[in-house]
Structure 1
């Protein structure tokens, strides 16, 4: 009599954990067992940015771990602005790997998470043996002082990074209506809801105005439900936005801290996924063109058509497939 085909056991659901790091604690959500894949979100999100990737990576035999970066969610929120410098984020990531009982990991990030993932791979290649970057391509440290560069962008209007850099200024705009501001920001950067080409850019702020004055209003992108928006808003209403915004306020400090790595390539195995309608990708097209020199270990690079900024959510299934293909080691040649 034929035996029934075994049915694979379902992967246990995600688990929340707090781990100690030198700067305090990091909240993480983990799922699955196997090689460690550390997932880093961007602004203004949380571990939830990777909610579609966690179960898929776990089912494929990976230990998928999405963190709340310092300043977000249940992770520590130091009062000192300098505590959000890039060196501190890299130290957090190393400490998370160690707390999980591992020596090495693949690190994957989106938006600010992409930049933090790249810095982690650059500074600690002994720990981060492969790096995936979504949205923001790798550009080696160096160049002009960032605040000088930001001040030169936009002419009479202020570039949003400079707007975010002044302590308390963006908080005064966002925190009276966190949910409304987030809804507008998410919609304005999503391919299915962003303003048509030629409209005034939300990334530039006219004198005496607010960034949100140019946001799309009254609609949510397809990837975001009202309940999910409530979750995001509830977290930021509890924590405030200062910890998240302090990442922008360390641009010059990072420039100084990383001077020893000016022009340095990342040599580990790497992946880039950009988006056709994401300013983070299009503004940095020169960095993508430089990948043969700056990412000599690049094994896959994709630009997703008709995709906006929120790549892991807007194109979850496609991103999952790309990640699984990239994470699967190539078969040895006979």
Structure 2
């Protein structure tokens, strides 16, 4: 790989079907697009941008539509997966490239996987953090989530009704975010005997089960200020719209039911993350669903926010994988 000089991070706005996508890029070399999840922003990749740049890559971390400084369409159905795939393609082309490697975390992993599935000519490799790949198909998502939890309500169902979660979050964005991040972080998550923070008790809120007065070690006050300032400015509706399109996605992608992703792929999860324990069968199915899998890693004692909880380990894994993909 040619030796390159890492540059300082640069903020850009590029055209996309959403209107404009904000991104932060750093480095020179093959393009790697980084896609965040809920409730985050490009800032969740702050540790990866300089590491990838130093390794000889051009890293571009986006604000997904509805977040941060990217456009926020008003219509709920403007946040369906097909639209987010189109945004990813637009980013690659706006940066002057025909193809890129795509890496996503949380919802960003779903966006990255679907983009790789639908546009293999644009996305030559895909990395998934925290949320395993599950091919399209199966039962209707809203029906599945409605059956979880018995008398309690699964958080995805709780997020469905426009305005409901916003009414909980927006009066104290900073406090809610701090609690949500803590609930899913290895060093602050509730113990196994505590009520599960992924569920809402009858007549309650998600925040009822967040750890009180506990801040994850990876989250400084300045980091929390960055996240809170963005959501205080934009509100949460654009971010929550992703959850409100899951049934539309299910219908849109019905023609790809069971489809594998053939490109070189990577998975990184945490052993204490519910996403990896609930979806353990999806990880076991990788020989069929990700036949191009180069490596899969479960970081012991790590929670959901893998690239922020374990930045050095994730950076090493990403660079080794990218170098292997480039060599092949």
Query: What TM-score, normalized to structure 2?
Result: 0.97
Q: Deviations over 1:156-197 (max 9, x none)?
A: 100000000111000000000000000000111100111111
User: Which of 246, 254, 257 does residue 259 from structure 1 map onto?
Assistant: 254
Report the equivalent of 2:235. 240
Is there any run of 5+ residues in structure 1 with no aligned partner, and where?
1-7
**Residue 280 (structure 2) pairs with residue 285 (structure 1):** yes
Summarize the Cα distance change of 1:248–1:330 in structure 2 as closer, same or farther, 3 Å threshold. closer
How far residue 212 of structure 1 moved from its aligned partner, in angstroms, is 0.4
CA distance in 2, matches of 1:111, 1:238: 23
Report the equivalent of 2:143. 148
Summarize the Cα distance change of 1:332–1:28 in structure 2 as closer, same or farther, 3 Å threshold. closer
How far residue 119 of structure 1 moved from its aligned partner, in angstroms, is 0.3
Matches within 5 A, 1:164-243: 164-243=159-238
**Residue 254 (structure 2) pairs with residue 276 (structure 1):** no
How far residue 274 of structure 1 moved from its aligned partner, in angstroms, is 1.1
How far residue 40 of structure 1 moved from its aligned partner, in angstroms, is 0.4
SS at match of 1:18: strand
How far residue 289 of structure 1 moved from its aligned partner, in angstroms, is 0.8
CA distance in 2, matches of 1:324, 1:148: 40
Report the equivalent of 2:25. 30
CA distance in 1, matches of 2:5, 2:267: 30
CA distance in 1, matches of 2:325, 2:10: 30
How far residue 207 of structure 1 moved from its aligned partner, in angstroms, is 1.4
CA distance in 2, matches of 1:10, 1:78: 37
**Residue 289 (structure 2) pairs with residue 294 (structure 1):** yes
CA distance in 2, matches of 1:143, 1:159: 19
CA distance in 2, matches of 1:310, 1:331: 26
How far residue 324 of structure 1 moved from its aligned partner, in angstroms, is 0.6
Report the equivalent of 2:245. 250
CA distance in 2, matches of 1:201, 1:331: 42
Structure number with greater Rg is 1
SS at match of 2:37: coil
**Residue 66 (structure 2) pairs with residue 90 (structure 1):** no
User: Which of 154, 157, 178 does residue 162 from structure 1 map onto?
Assistant: 157
8 Å CA contact 2:22–2:69 kept in 1: the answer is: yes
Instruction: Give the root-mean-square deviation of aligned CA atoms.
Output: 1.3
Query: What TM-score, normalized to structure 1?
Result: 0.96
Q: Deviations over 1:108-138 (max 9, x none)?
A: 0000000000000000000000000000000
Q: Deviations over 1:67-116 (max 9, x none)?
A: 00000000000000000000000000000000000000000000000000
8 Å CA contact 2:4–2:56 kept in 1: the answer is: no
CA distance in 1, matches of 2:326, 2:118: 29
CA distance in 1, matches of 2:165, 2:111: 22
Summarize the Cα distance change of 1:331–1:316 in structure 2 as closer, same or farther, 3 Å threshold. closer
User: Which of 303, 306, 323 does residue 311 from structure 1 map onto?
Assistant: 306
How far residue 329 of structure 1 moved from its aligned partner, in angstroms, is 2.7
SS at match of 1:274: strand
Which runs of 4 or more aligned residues in structure 1 lie more than 3 Å from their structure 2 counterparts after TM superposition? 330-333
CA distance in 2, matches of 1:332, 1:45: 32
SS at match of 1:263: coil
